[in-house]
Structure 1
């Protein structure tokens, strides 16, 4: 291409990217091609047309750029893009995106055609807000201003908030302060962060190169200090509260060993939060090779042992093996040589394109990936183990992508692939699938349609800025959305035609929710921020309060107090005029040291930690877990937990033991093998459960030694969905009705969309037909909502997919929801009402004559007939281990799902209650006595009087095996089973909570 001066330059005219068989035996499988057009005067890229082998001569999309060069003899700025448009097809197609860029002292989207004077980016505009076409509904996304040295000193966001940066007066290169100033009409605190820098305005202490940050002071006056070595690498961090005269909160030490680069990270472990106390540190060492790849990680395990994870790579640089955690004695900062032949490790092989071919787990189970044209086949193992015998079973799923790498379809299969040997079989590319799910996209690569395996279609529309404008779903119905200039959601209108409006402050923080979509509507909730007194409350930039409204009046509220590090020190909930405060203190590693329960049942529970940094002791005036009574293995798994202390000796009241399958045992892979609990006199007097798995991780059997050795057996289909659960013989070959109490024999089936279509006790399920015209909302159709079962139950739903009425055994329950789709009342065969806070947490329930006020998961107040009972819960290492009701302590034992099974007396350890469950959460048989907590199946709250479990966001019916409301979130759209919004955890009930 020629230039005005007669020179020529080489430019990229077109580029074709091929995907080929790595063995080179096939022609290209697919390709994409971009063809570029430039202007002759300056060589600016004007057009990029993108095609693929699907339509080689017709562009799929085109990007068009416009420039307004300045070449006036004094200024030569010719390469600044003024406008960019995205078109469907060629540049004469429909515009699907438009951005304009304004330079220097010009302003407004119409000024894009002004030639720049010095080329500084001033404003960025986009067209098409709210569903409008190109050249309309412009939004200024950002505006910038500069100082005389060219530094960007201010940035104004779409909502009018301004971020201002002040630079040093010497080099004019380093930020000395950053201030966030909200728009005055929207409100919000002004937040300023200031810096001191070495070689400039640093105070005494620390070291670093010129310009490196010595201190950072946030809007709350909290100061974080930094120290560096001679190479400018960070070596110390002191969090707020620790000065240069105190031990560092974190240390990073750099060294080498055996040709490897070593980074030691040490986290201060003071155990009491005292910044001036002598310091010990939790250390983690990471060893890197010369290419910057992690070769080994060492973590403290005990006084003489370290927990190690090692990795190695193949000749192409792909990860070839990663070990399971193992222990080793390490003297000094030393890389430990690895004997891979004797080490449990996950091994991977890749093809010459770097794509994964096979992953082999330490237990020998395999996942293999094959590639053909645009299809990818994943073959995974679901083999079963009986003694030393393995019955190999491999299952496949196929995914297809388009030329742009977007997922087009997923095919799911139920049947076995191959002949059942230890080797991965080749895919059955042309086999008939159990279900096919397809996906469609717009020109900007946004997902616009999903068609499930049962033909159910979900559609989504966007504006040109990429904001979701509408959704039409077979279960949730049609929803629509609007946004403000900054992209914050302004209104949401659901399928019931209920509109909720949202308000924000100048920092884009949610401040209010209204009914009917405008500030003139009834208030549903409001939120406040930035409360601070500089002494005990450091809330600037943080949420400090919220209120929930019912009927336009404040119903309940919450507030938070923070320390300088931003950690919550007090959380207060006010419900029915009573305030309940939970307090927290922390150590230097930000771990909770103390929890102070509400004064209504005051207690301070302390936590201490082990050498691994894990919880090791929990106590108040009562020793819940004594020092040394919590033991973990090298993988951080709990292996021993002793609860309480007997009054006449140092023995625990209850002791628990957890063992795990070896990493290399078939189906083991470090999974939980046995849970035992009992007293000092009999270590398994309370619980003795043993688990067996297939190689996919599904629980295949559970043996309850205390229930006469009863064995529960489970089978699964090719999508890991539970097919049967029964009490069986020693090899799960058939039903056994004579071993242990509460025998059962159930089977389940599904359609290709994950609908449970039959279940023992319920019969067959009816879907996809109109519900009864007598339902509250009439004869609606919800694709994945159960309308009836052959045992005589029937169900009704509203337009959003919320269950509105359920008739079971002749008893009818009517369910009512608020504007935010939260269940607020039940009437009919049972009555109940529920109250939620502004975050949607349930804080009050009235059922069966009981009024329960709940403060998180720590405390409850129950009022029955004027009598008040206080309940407190105790958690260790994230697990609920005890409950105290009216001053009486009970230990809570759990199974692999976290379900409460056995309750033991807090003083004697004797069994006081026990529950058994069926696979979907129904009670199995008659409970032994009354369990003193309603946290039961999977650790969730049972509302027994209405036959539902509360799973925090939704309610679950264990008899039906379905949720009562459509899930508003699809966790993984690429997994077709996730598209079923009512299914319980994808239907493998013994694998996930």
Structure 2
């Protein structure tokens, strides 16, 4: 086989899994054998260039070269071919994609790229200084972006289309130390002796600090409130304990090969992982969300190519199918819902079909897509309805949306790409409504004018957070953030017990706070346990509307709804998780449907006689560990 001195022929990891390599006499890698016995094989021509690569499962990639070693063609497992053309200097001058679209390249005499002409003829130009640094780019609409550098080649100034400027400064080691945005806001960065970011000073004066161990591995982040997020590592640098800003620890355990075996959250819930010989997850074991001391098992299976073909748990089974190129062509959810897809030569999805079996009836829909030479979508058609047709400018921005035979929308854009205006027009009628948008130098929306909705205005702080909103009715709403940028300010309430583990499991720890008259409570892992709102019950309809407005803030279906000084509905009308009666199933379905359906269920369920003001609590179900 020839000499292979100095080349690794096999690697056995601590778990006993072996990866092996075979070479030819010239040192070219012929075969890589994976721990499960599957192999990746490569064939070479007489000049030792790869001409065929066979992946596990048999998918093949092909390559064709010229005598100078330049790649002329590449074919994927589906047979789609991309081709490349070069000039006498070996510079790429044309690329032709699988659908025949061609992109061309021009060069300056010194070899720098001078222009790129896309398949639609749109030209982008580039200009350089004597050192070869890009100093100007002119896009297909003629908009210019300019760049300036210091003597070390670091970018110091950029002038974007529209005149917006950013400025950068660097320390003696070449690290970015100062950045000034177009509004003049300055961000400063400090570094450790080994070049790690140690401190960041934001434009609003707040700071974030980063701490490292003697190996320069991150072990802590101190936020703007001077709270520490700590990371503990083992001798191999792996994170074994992660303690959040509120002192709650998540622990990790690893296998001999470095794979994560389990993680335990602050509530003591452990998630376990099982792997196959290639290191892919085949099983995930999590605490059951409804049964104490029970596990819920998520299972995963893969085909011979390594693609995920099955994901299932006790609640659901999802299967996946792929084409020769590894693109997903079918997703089957249980026995009643299927998504199928077709693709063109370039790998763009051209058709998506869905099929749902519900109540003995079959509901099927087809969505079709067409693309231009740049692979940007130009039309979307649902079933046999008239397609939505999209026209684009030279930058690929949508300039016309034909929504039907008589209805269209016409957007326009700022030089920075932000939406500047939008008109909706009806043939024979003219403009139905229009919107205009104004931005500050940082590209943040400061005003929105709607021909029907009125005018909205926004104000931002130096780090880009909205601090004031003036709605069309003239009502001003202000937002006050803490130093870390949170609107909701929370504190920890804890009942001390002798057994800390039992206390965690018993839920004696809670992080709580109020914002805009609404009470929020979180458990140790950050899951919201309760959302409560004070309801004005003097008007029967209003009390339900106010509760409904907050329901969308719960993640998933609440376990129960409680009214202070009134009944708790768990096990009765609004036991939303138990589904112990037909009425419960109605609530669950109503939650899925939302809107008026849920409104009617709540209206019937809430007590008819309540005090004029009552506190309604939405109690979250117990969550399975992540």
TM class by shorter-chain length? 0.7 to 0.9
Structure 2 residue 73 is matched with structure 1 residue 217: no
Q: Distance in 1 between matches of 2:504 and 2:233?
A: 34
Q: TM-score, normalised by structure 2?
A: 0.80
- CA shift, 1:823, in A, is 5.2
Residues 175 and 395 of structure 1: CA distance in aligned 2, closer, same or farther (over 3 Å): closer
Q: Name which of 515, 520, 534 aligns with 1:795.
A: 520
- CA shift, 1:693, in A, is 0.2
- SS of 1:850's equivalent in the other structure is helix
Residue by residue over 1:237-287, the C-alpha shift from the partner in whole angstroms, topping out at 9 and shown as x without a partner, is 222243xxxxx620111126xx89343221111xxxxxxxxxxx1122344
Residues 634 and 161 of structure 1: CA distance in aligned 2, closer, same or farther (over 3 Å): farther
Contact 2:330 / 2:338 at 8 angstroms: preserved in 1? yes
Q: Name which of 620, 635, 641 aligns with 2:395.
A: 635
Structure 2 residue 73 is matched with structure 1 residue 236: yes
Q: Distance in 1 between matches of 2:425 and 2:8?
A: 67
Q: Distance in 2 between matches of 1:544 and 1:486?
A: 25
Contact 1:846 / 1:852 at 8 angstroms: preserved in 2? no
Residue 712 of structure 1 aligns with which residue? 456
Residue by residue over 1:313-355, the C-alpha shift from the partner in whole angstroms, topping out at 9 and shown as x without a partner, is 33343332233x315xxxxxxxxxxxxxxx4222221212222
Residue 427 of structure 2 aligns with which residue? 680
Q: TM-score, normalised by structure 1?
A: 0.52
Residue 570 of structure 1 aligns with which residue? 330
Structure 2 residue 94 is matched with structure 1 residue 250: no
Residue 4 of structure 2 aligns with which residue? 149
Residue 484 of structure 2 aligns with which residue? 753
- CA shift, 1:801, in A, is 1.7
Residues 618 and 152 of structure 1: CA distance in aligned 2, closer, same or farther (over 3 Å): same
Residue 180 of structure 1 aligns with which residue? 34
Residue 282 of structure 1 aligns with which residue? 101
Pairwise mapping of residues 487-886 of structure 1 onto structure 2 (< 5 A)?
487-515=258-286, 522-530=295-303, 539-548=304-313, 554-574=314-334, 578-600=335-357, 601-619=363-381, 621-625=383-387, 629-644=389-404, 652-661=405-414, 663=415, 669-685=416-432, 687-707=433-453, 710-727=454-471, 737=473, 744-756=475-487, 766-768=489-491, 770=493, 780=509, 782=511, 787-789=513-515, 792-810=517-535, 825-829=558-562, 848-850=587-589
Structure 2 residue 192 is matched with structure 1 residue 396: no
Q: Name which of 262, 267, 270 aligns with 2:97.
A: 267
Contact 2:448 / 2:456 at 8 angstroms: preserved in 1? yes
Q: Distance in 2 between matches of 1:965 and 1:712?
A: 40
Q: Distance in 2 between matches of 1:313 and 1:503?
A: 54
- CA shift, 1:501, in A, is 0.8
Residues 465 and 776 of structure 1: CA distance in aligned 2, closer, same or farther (over 3 Å): closer
The structure with the larger Rg is: 1
Q: Distance in 2 between matches of 1:567 and 1:624?
A: 28
Residues 178 and 619 of structure 1: CA distance in aligned 2, closer, same or farther (over 3 Å): same
Q: Distance in 2 between matches of 1:312 and 1:681?
A: 48
Q: Name which of 179, 188, 191 aligns with 1:378.
A: 179
RMSD: 3.8
Q: Distance in 1 between matches of 2:518 and 2:513?
A: 8
Q: Distance in 1 between matches of 2:380 and 2:596?
A: 23
Larger mean CA deviation between 671-680 and 359-368 belongs to: 671-680
Residue by residue over 1:434-489, the C-alpha shift from the partner in whole angstroms, topping out at 9 and shown as x without a partner, is x2221111122111111111111111111121211111112482111111122211
Residue by residue over 1:359-397, the C-alpha shift from the partner in whole angstroms, topping out at 9 and shown as x without a partner, is 221211111123467882222222xxxxxxxxxxx2122
Residues 506 and 291 of structure 1: CA distance in aligned 2, closer, same or farther (over 3 Å): farther
Aligned length: 560
Pairwise mapping of residues 930-969 of structure 1 onto structure 2 (< 5 A)?
none
Residue 312 of structure 1 aligns with which residue? 127
Residue 41 of structure 2 aligns with which residue? 194
Q: Distance in 2 between matches of 1:779 and 1:193?
A: 55
- CA shift, 1:715, in A, is 0.8
Structure 2 residue 115 is matched with structure 1 residue 296: yes
Q: Distance in 2 between matches of 1:625 and 1:447?
A: 52
Residue 350 of structure 1 aligns with which residue? 149
Q: Distance in 1 between matches of 2:510 and 2:111?
A: 57
Residues 360 and 834 of structure 1: CA distance in aligned 2, closer, same or farther (over 3 Å): farther
Q: Distance in 2 between matches of 1:265 and 1:559?
A: 37
Contact 1:715 / 1:722 at 8 angstroms: preserved in 2? yes
Residue 273 of structure 1 aligns with which residue? none
Residue by residue over 1:515-541, the C-alpha shift from the partner in whole angstroms, topping out at 9 and shown as x without a partner, is 379xx97243111111xxxxxxxx521
Residue by residue over 1:742-791, the C-alpha shift from the partner in whole angstroms, topping out at 9 and shown as x without a partner, is x53211111211022xxxxxxxx543353899999667465xxx6123x5
Q: Distance in 1 between matches of 2:111 and 2:215?
A: 35
Q: Distance in 2 between matches of 1:681 and 1:159?
A: 74
Contact 2:43 / 2:50 at 8 angstroms: preserved in 1? yes
Q: Distance in 2 between matches of 1:516 and 1:599?
A: 31
- SS of 2:242's equivalent in the other structure is strand
Contact 1:462 / 1:470 at 8 angstroms: preserved in 2? yes
Q: Distance in 2 between matches of 1:597 and 1:225?
A: 34
Residues 502 and 639 of structure 1: CA distance in aligned 2, closer, same or farther (over 3 Å): same
Q: Distance in 2 between matches of 1:152 and 1:461?
A: 34
Residue 467 of structure 1 aligns with which residue? 238
Residues 692 and 771 of structure 1: CA distance in aligned 2, closer, same or farther (over 3 Å): farther
Show structure 2 runs of 5+ residues with no match: 358-362, 497-502, 536-542, 548-553, 563-568, 579-583, 604-620
Q: Distance in 2 between matches of 1:806 and 1:781?
A: 13
Residues 356 and 515 of structure 1: CA distance in aligned 2, closer, same or farther (over 3 Å): same
Q: Distance in 2 between matches of 1:297 and 1:847?
A: 60
Residue by residue over 1:132-153, the C-alpha shift from the partner in whole angstroms, topping out at 9 and shown as x without a partner, is xxxxxxxxxxxxxx98533533
Structure 2 residue 208 is matched with structure 1 residue 437: yes
Q: Distance in 2 between matches of 1:852 and 1:238?
A: 49
Q: Distance in 1 between matches of 2:143 and 2:8?
A: 53
Contact 1:581 / 1:598 at 8 angstroms: preserved in 2? yes
Residues 402 and 570 of structure 1: CA distance in aligned 2, closer, same or farther (over 3 Å): same
Structure 2 residue 227 is matched with structure 1 residue 227: no
- SS of 1:300's equivalent in the other structure is coil
Contact 1:716 / 1:723 at 8 angstroms: preserved in 2? yes
- CA shift, 1:597, in A, is 0.8
Contact 2:15 / 2:256 at 8 angstroms: preserved in 1? yes
Show structure 1 runs of 5+ residues with no match: 1-145, 183-189, 200-209, 243-247, 270-280, 328-342, 383-393, 415-432, 531-538, 549-553, 645-651, 664-668, 729-736, 738-742, 757-764, 814-820, 836-844, 854-861, 865-929, 935-941, 947-963, 970-993
Contact 1:164 / 1:180 at 8 angstroms: preserved in 2? yes
- SS of 2:452's equivalent in the other structure is helix
Contact 1:476 / 1:799 at 8 angstroms: preserved in 2? no
Q: Distance in 1 between matches of 2:401 and 2:391?
A: 7
Residue by residue over 1:477-518, the C-alpha shift from the partner in whole angstroms, topping out at 9 and shown as x without a partner, is 21111111222111101111111111111100011111379x
Contact 2:287 / 2:296 at 8 angstroms: preserved in 1? no
